[in-house]
A = this chain, B = another copy of it.
Amino acid sequence: MPRGRPRREGADEQILTAARALLRERGYREFTVDTVAERTGIAKTTIYRRWPSKGALVAALIAPPPESSDPDAIVRETAEVLGLLSEPDAEAIEVLHAVLAPRRKLLSEAFGSELQADLVIGALLSRLLVVREPVTKELAETVLRSIRDGRNSIS
């Protein structure tokens, strides 16, 4: 997912505005990209070129990736967004991907290590999906501390 301002701001803004209204009206389950296309008159293929799935579009509305390049800030922000997604149902897998893929990319650039990004993002994800407990601020701090202490070895 591209960072920074989108190139075709007009169409993107139109899509996001319609999508936001639709999400408010119908909620996630009843939200469809088809309806966004109908309401904006923008082709579905154009929408999917920018946001490859319903989950990606919804994620862009509820949680655009952070602007920061500071890993601590990114981890804290990620934990905060995941904190909103407690008790994820089956459909949430798409939203989780859409929320986490750009953040993992930012983190892997910030750490200079894909593995380290997977360890950090993964620890939060494991808490949410495997332990099925909410992702908290405290967890973000614990993970950050462990990564900071072991930075020379985990790379």
Contacts and interface: CB of A to CB of B under 8 A. Distances in A.
A64 B115 CA distance: 28
Contact of A96 (B104, B129, B154): B129
A39 interface: no
A67 interface: no
Contacts of A96: 129-130
Interface residues of A, number: 36
Interface in A137-155: 142-143, 146-147, 149-150, 153-155
A44 interface: no
A149 B91 CA distance: 37
11 contacts: A90-B93, A104-B130, A115-B123, A115-B146, A119-B119, A119-B143, A122-B125, A122-B127, A125-B129, A149-B153, A150-B150
Interface of A: 88-94, 96-97, 100-101, 104, 115, 117-119, 121-127, 129-132, 142-143, 146-147, 149-150, 153-155
Given A122-B130, A147-B154, 8 more contacts: A88-B93, A97-B129, A100-B126, A104-B131, A115-B146, A117-B126, A118-B126, A121-B130
